[in-house]
Each structure stands twice: as C-alpha cells, then as structure tokens.
Chains A and B, each alone.
Chain A
Amino acid sequence: MFLRRGRAIAPLMLLLASPLRAADDVKVTTANVEDQRVSDERFGGLTIELQLTGAGAADVKAIRVKVKSAKDDAGTNLSKPDKEEKPRDFEEFSKDRHPGPEIRLSNPRRDASSIEVTGDVELFIPARDPSAKQKIDRFLSQLDKPLSNAALKSAKVEITPLSAKEYKARQASGRPTKEQIAEEGKKHGASEKEIQEAIALMDALTSLGGEEPSENSILLETKDPDGKLISVELAHADGSDLHSQGRSSNGGRELKTVKIDLAEKPPADAALLVTLRTSKSLVTVPLTLKEVVLP
C-alpha cells in the first residue's frame, strides 16, 4: 500500500520538481557596477548589472527585480522608492543579453568602498505554464478590432491589429500638443526658452521617427494596464518564425502602438505569438548582494 501510494505520487513529484529545481538552480550575482557621479545632482546614479547563472537560467525569459534595501558601507540609503510608483515592468531576458538586467540606485558616498543590496528577483519561466504562450491564428483577418482570446482577456491585455490609416490617426492623437509640453515644462520649472527647445525637439523627433508604415508593416495597438504582456512575436501559420527587420513602438503599458517591419508583405494567415505573465510561470528567488566593491 505504501509502495503503491509512493509510485502514484512519484510522477506528480517529478512534474512539480522540474521547474522548481530549475528555479533553485538560478543564482543572481553581480556582473558590473557603474557609479556615475555628476556635479549636477539631478543626474547620475549607481547601476548594478546582474548576472543569472545556473542550469535554470536558460529557461528564464523575463525578470523583475524588487530592491528591499540598499546601503553603502557608510550607512547611506541608496534606495528610496516612491510609494506611488507602480511596480516596474518585467524585462525580457536571455543569457546572451548584454548588458544584463540592471538595478538603478542613488549614488553612494564618494568615500564609500562597498555596498549591500537585498531584495527579490522574480523570474518568468514560461515552461512552467503552457497557458503563458498564446498563438492567435490569422490575426490580420480583422483589422482595427481587438483580438478575441480568453487568456488575453483574463490578463486584461488588449491587442488590436491596426490598418495603416488607423495607425497614423492613433499616432497623431497620442502625440503631445505644444500646450501639453509647455504645461509639463512649467511644472518642472523650465524656462520659456527651454520649453521652446523641447517643442522644437519634439517636432524634430516627429519628423525623424515618423516613418510611414509600408505594406510590409504589421501595426498593433496594445493595452496592458497590469504589465502582464511579456512579448509579441510573429509566426507563419505553421508556427515557424516570421522574421522581422525592425520594430518601433510608442507609448507605455496603458497604451502602446507598435510597428513591426518585415522584408516582404506579411502572409494573410500570419499568426501572433503572445507571451503572458501568469502566476504559475513565476518563481521568486532572493537577491542578496554583499560587499559589492565600488569602482
């Protein structure tokens, strides 16, 4: 009886153990440290580049770092999170990515020689949850209407493939007006001259970055209020990769327009591969960096 129960439990344990072991295998260490010190204290800061090692690191596709405490050896607090600040988005991760994920902190004292950081690193491991990856077939068949998909809906993610006309219209409506720039500038105490420079820069960036979509472009609008959307890729109907030549996006989590340029006109039956953060796909490992020597 005991043996039989043991046999019944064994496969279940294996299933559970596999991703957990992968997460246990991930170690978070320091790769590089950069202390950028500027006489104008509005700028600069300390950046710590992290490195994920261990057999499980290859399965990690995105990460998010939450710093709980950070101080230098003189006792200076280097992390002063804004209470109203929203949690940061997950960053895409691969072992080949350089530089690796980074933590940004305030400058330590000039005479400090080391720092300590504690916190959590959330690892997104899609292999732990099949529903983290969604394939949406023939997504170009209905433009300018949000895609219908239960997993997207439950994650409160909305993706709308756009026609060129609608894309241009939404881009134009999302651009800040001169009045908005002026208002924001005044809030920051900018002079009239600085505001005019910002407006001129905005015009210049618009003329530079306002590349028109072509017939080879795939245009999307995404809404992702909870930051659950990890990535959006393109595929042929059979699931094979549909290689893009470039991608540009505008906006943030609440509303973003995306232009993906292909080498040729996208096939009508192209599919969208959407990767979503789900609770099952997340593992949290502690972050403990001690006596990190300052350069």
Chain B
Amino acid sequence: MSTPIRRSSLLLLIIFTAAASASAQSKKPAAKTSAAGPHGAPPQIQVSVDTLMDRRTTRDFPRSELSISFKLEGADANAVQSARARVTKADDDTGKSLLVAAADSKQGSESWQEAHEGGAPTPKVDLASPSRKAKTLATVEGVLEAYMPSRDPASTIQVEKITAKKDKPPIASPALAAHHIRLQVLSKAALEKERADAKAKAQAAQKKSKKGAQDGLEQMGEAMADALTSMLERIFLTAGENDLILKVNDPDKKIFSLGLAAPDGSAIHSYGTMDLDSYRVVRMFEPIPPNASLLVRLKTAKSFGQVPFSLVNLKLP
C-alpha cells in the first residue's frame, strides 16, 4: 500500500472513531423516556447507549474509568443543540456502585456536548470502572439535560453580517442590550493593539512602583495588568486568521453559546470556541462568509428540557 493511501486510511480511522455508533446497546430503547419538564411539553427524546468504554489500568493517573456515550433519538433529538447527562445511579451486576464522588470527578465531565453536523449530540459520562468479574451494568439511571433553542424564539439573537462589524464600536442591538450584553468584534490587529496597550500599562505601572514604595493596591494593579497582557498574548498566539474574535461583556452570564449561520439559516460549523476571560474565539477552518450571521444563544427557561432515563442490563465489553 502506498504511503498516501496509508495516511488516508489513518484519517478514515479517525473519522470512524468519531462516527462509531454500532454497539449492541445502542439498539435498546430507554426504559423510561422524556418526562414533563417545568416549561412546556416534555421533549420527545429517547436515551440509549451509543458506546461503552471500560478503560482499566494499573496506572494511578489517569485512573481506570468507564465512559458511556449516550445516543439521543426521537422526534426532538435533532432539535438538541447541546446536551449533558447526569447519572444518579449506576451499579454493575456484582452490586458495585460506579458513581464517582463529586470531588473525584474529572474536570469537564459535566460539560455540555454540542450537536455535530451528523446529528444530535452524544453526551458522555465518566464512571468508576466496574469489577472485572462483572458481565453487565445492572442499572444506569439519570437525567439528560438538553438545550433546544428552537423551542424558544427569544433564546436566539441574530446579528447579521457579523464580519462587517469587525473593529467597529460594540454592536448596537436592543435585544442584546435588554440582556445587558455587549459584544465587539475584533480583528487580530485590534487584539494586538489591545495587547500592546495592556503591556504599556503594565510597564508604566512597574516604573511607577519602582519610583516609590509600592502599596498593596498598586501591586494588585500591576499583577492584573500582567495577567491581562499574558492572556491577550495567549489569545493572539492561538487565534487563527479565519477565527471570529469577540470581546464579550455579559455580567448576568446569559450567553449559552455562540454560533454562525448562513443567510438561509443553515449552520456554519466551527471547530470549537475558546473562552478566555472576556474574550471568545470562535474557531473556523474557512474564512467566514461576509453575509454570515452571529447567533447569540441565550439561557432561557423554555430552551432547556430534561429527560430522565433508566437503562438496565447493559452488556459490558
């Protein structure tokens, strides 16, 4: 096999890993499905297991764990923009509880999983590793939390032609203002200017403190200026030419996520968002089309739904 072909098969393997979805468990529907939430009709979503991975190791770190990726199906599954699962009970057939104490749970294990191009998100939970002697998971119970902005038109604010707003004053939008949100689109050059300004301020503060005795307030100001400079430097170094750089002021933490859409409403996919203090970088492989809109997704009560699930007798790999 030639080298290029071998490389391409590696790529396909990566793709297949991401697309892996054919476990025996995935065919089993959830015993319980969606239940009525506090706001509106309950989402029609069935939760089943997509993939089980029991990683057993003699190492202390990272330690052994069982990861379960859930599959979302049903009439509302494709409306789920983000999801996360919370497991309240998980036992193997030897009676061992697999719940991990909050203090021991892995950082980010509670994070929201975004929908991907192919469909609904596949939220993942990490549990303790079952006994080697166990053959099945006797019970896995919990709640799926789903963010479905399409259930509440008020949860999405659309800012048209977002690239035209680059290096302009903060976006003038009554809808954003109503939520006390201020957004400004920056170019890499503007970010570099902010970095240079912050650096100059830090240096001036240092000079000033050298002249006289430093009091606590000055020291704190200097440290903050240093931190800001290094943070801006990190953003500058990691932001790509195609990325959308936003300076965000959201004192009430109303923003759930940011996305991009074409004029026909179809999603323009990014490969993630980086949050650093008041800056957010939407990562893009390709330049953003000039007619693209920014979709500011807000946390509203109607846009969230909960689905309890209870799965039994899941065969362990």
Contacts and interface: CB of A to CB of B under 8 A. Distances in A.
Given A176-B5, A184-B8, A295-B64, A201 B316 contact: no
B51 A40 contact: yes
B211 interface: no
Contact of A44 (B14, B24, B25, B53): B53
Interface in A186-228: 188, 190, 193-195, 197-198, 201-205, 207
A274 B23 CA distance: 48
Contacts of B20: 40, 42-43
**Chain B interface secondary structure, helix, strand, loop or mixed?**
mixed
B51 A110 contact: no
Nearest to A250: B7
Contacts of A37: 53-56, 316-317
A17 interface: no
Given A44-B317, A207-B285, A295-B64, A35 B12 contact: no
B286 to A, nearest CB: 9
B52 A38 contact: yes
Interface string B281-313: 000010000000000000000000000000000
Contacts of B59: 32, 34
B interface, size bucket = 35 or more
B132 A294 contact: yes
Contacts, number: 124
A32 B317 contact: no
A44 B317 CA distance: 10
A40 B22 contact: yes
A286 interface: no
Given A181-B11, A194-B19, A295-B64, A38 B118 contact: no
Contacts of A43: 17, 20
Nearest to A183: B5
B5 A34 contact: no
A37 B23 CA distance: 13
Interface in B96-146: 117-118, 132-135
B118 A193 contact: yes
A294 B56 CA distance: 8
**Chain A interface secondary structure, helix, strand, loop or mixed?**
mixed
Contacts of A111: 132-133, 135
A180 B16 contact: no
Interface residues of A, number: 46
Interface stretch (A75-83, A152-160, A251-259): A251-259
Contacts of A107: 317
B57 interface: yes
Contacts of A36: 53-56
Nearest to A195: B12
Interface of B: 3-9, 11-12, 14-17, 19-25, 49, 51-59, 64, 117-118, 132-135, 271, 285, 315-317
Closest 9 CB pairs of A and B: A39-B23, A176-B4, A37-B317, A176-B8, A39-B52, A295-B56, A34-B57, A37-B54, A35-B56
Given A184-B12, A251-B7, 14 more contacts: A34-B57, A37-B316, A38-B53, A38-B54, A40-B51, A41-B317, A111-B135, A181-B8, A184-B9, A190-B12, A194-B19, A201-B11, A202-B8, A203-B285
